[in-house]
Amino acid sequence: MSTLKKSDKKAALDFAAWSFNVTTSVGIIMVNKALMATYGFSFATTLTGLHFVTTTLMTIVFRWFGLSQPSHLPLADLVKFVIFSNLSIVGMNVSLMWNSVGFYQIAKLCMIPASCLLEVVFDHVHYSRDTKLSIMVVLIGVAVCTVTDVSVNARGLIAAVIAVWSTALQQYYVHFLQRKYSLNSFNLLGHTAPAQAGSLLLVGPFVDYLLTGKRVDHFSFSSLALFFLALSCFIAIGVNLSQFICIGRFSAVSFQVLGHMKTVLVLSLGFLFFGKEGLNLQVVLGMVLAVLGMIWYGNASAKPGGKERRSILPVRSASLKGSSEEKAGTEK
């Protein structure tokens, strides 16, 4: 009976974590679309730096109220994490700038195979046949509903490769650091958010000038632009926190696979609020196929042998058990 209650509690927490991530991620995409397309704030890298500033403030408040405990993360690991994360952010922005939308979407889909390879090589994870097939169904479904024109050039290909591997490494590293140093999501964000905020605010304006030809310090803010900027920074706290919670509870691969639900929702909301241009039978079939693939993946990876870690990474200390609730149960 107690085992059943524990599994029910874990299922409820898993659902809450995914709902939190999906809601905040879709929300910030819609807000950023209004901020950039309607009000002309096209400085994506600088905006991400501001997101980490507000996230840093959140971690300080949590620590002040005693909701986050002191923890340790070696400087070398912090530097590697920040490099992966910032390369991911800059790489994705540059890839979108230099590639067609279709090739950009294909590059994003390549993050799942890249994440799988990292887990197989470093964690000796074994995937069942059904789990592999369900991942393929998700990839095909998302490709069908998002990939249209596909053209590629040398510099765009380089940017896409950097974006894919740095994103896969960043998400793998979130899970790796939480397990290795017994860090929960709040503690890990407390270490990484300030470093990312400082580094992105330092390089962001230069990257944005390279991409847009505009200077962020010359941008003329209206009251509505400031409102959407503040709203974006507020929602970003939930996005950053929920990403760390989800990857900590599951894995980078599961985060990527089930995360494509956000792609389907963004497309659906875009058609609902911004017009039905581009909506056709192919898009609808692609979205349905992607959702079915996600459901299949959830069931396949949860079965015995669906996804097994064949080596256990030793944790640094058993004394820091604040993260145990986030990592309880079988990894999906």
Provide DSSP, 273-332. Answer: HH--TT--HHHHHHHHHHHHHHHHHHHHHHSTTTEEE-S-PPPS-SS--TTTTTT-S---
- pTM for the full predicted model: 0.79
HSE of 195, CA atoms in CB hemisphere, 13 A: 18
Q: pLDDT tens for residues 115-152?
A: 999 989 988 888 888 989 998 998 898 888 777 666 77
> Residue type for 84, please?
F
Q: What does the pLDDT read at residue 301?
A: 81
Neighbours of 284 (CB within 10 A): 15
Q: What is the pLDDT along the chain (332 residues), one digit of tens a residue?
A: 555 577 678 778 888 888 898 899 888 988 998 898 889 999 999 999 999 999 999 999 988 888 778 889 999 999 999 999 999 999 988 887 787 777 877 888 888 899 999 989 988 888 888 989 998 998 898 888 777 666 778 888 898 899 999 999 999 999 899 999 999 888 999 999 999 999 999 999 999 998 889 999 999 999 999 999 999 999 999 999 999 988 888 777 888 887 777 777 777 776 676 666 656 777 788 888 888 888 888 888 878 777 776 654 454 544 444 444 444 444 45
Q: What does the pLDDT read at residue 320?
A: 40
Residue with tokens 């979108």: 96
Query: Using CA of residue 149, residue 256, residue 267, residue 295, what is the dihedral sign?
Result: positive
Q: What does the pLDDT read at residue 310?
A: 63
Q: What does the pLDDT read at residue 328?
A: 41
Q: What does the pLDDT read at residue 321?
A: 42
Q: What does the pLDDT read at residue 317?
A: 45
Which tokens go with 210? 């390279």
Contact 204, 48 (CB under 8 A): yes
